[in-house]
Amino acid sequence: MAKPSSLFNHIALYVKDIHVSRKFYDPVLTELGMELTHDFGEYGYFGYTQKAGGQGAEFGFANGNGKEGKCHVAFNADSKDTVKKYYDNAIAAGGQDNGGPGLRTQYGPSYYAAFVLDPDGNNIEFCYMGSD
């Protein structure tokens, strides 16, 4: 398996009101050379990436639903097996299950991920978007 080109897939902040946050972040992120690439408003998420095919992690924000001030960080994995390995290691290290390994088709047809809460309640994700 080829190693992912970037350690991070995306980073999201939990906010009180995604529409208020979008009004703030749209001009700020545009000035930084980013554009809105993921509009999952119906799921409470907006994500931005670099313009013109730039590489790097996506930055986004999501409805906090009581988690405001917490963070979401997604790490790339090179396979579904690696997602499971990362998830199992995080649980063994004291993380709390927040969604075991599986397809998350609301984010894409081959989006495979697992979620763990760290000791402070931050949502840590391990994701793979390959076709195997």
Number of CB atoms found within 10 A of residue 2's CB: 7
Query: Over the stretch 38-81, which tens digit does the pLDDT of each residue have?
Result: 888 888 899 998 876 656 678 888 888 888 888 998 888 899 99
Give me 132's structure tokens.
């195997």
Mean pLDDT over the full length of the chain: 86
**Given this model, what pLDDT does residue 52 score?**
64
Give me 37's structure tokens.
């690439």
The model carries a pTM of 0.71
Nearest-5° Cα angle at 83, 9 to 132:
95
Give me 118's structure tokens.
């760290």
Asked if residue 90 lies in contact with residue 82, where contact means CB atoms within 8 angstroms, the answer is no
Domains located in the chain, CATH noted? 77-132 (3.10.180.10)
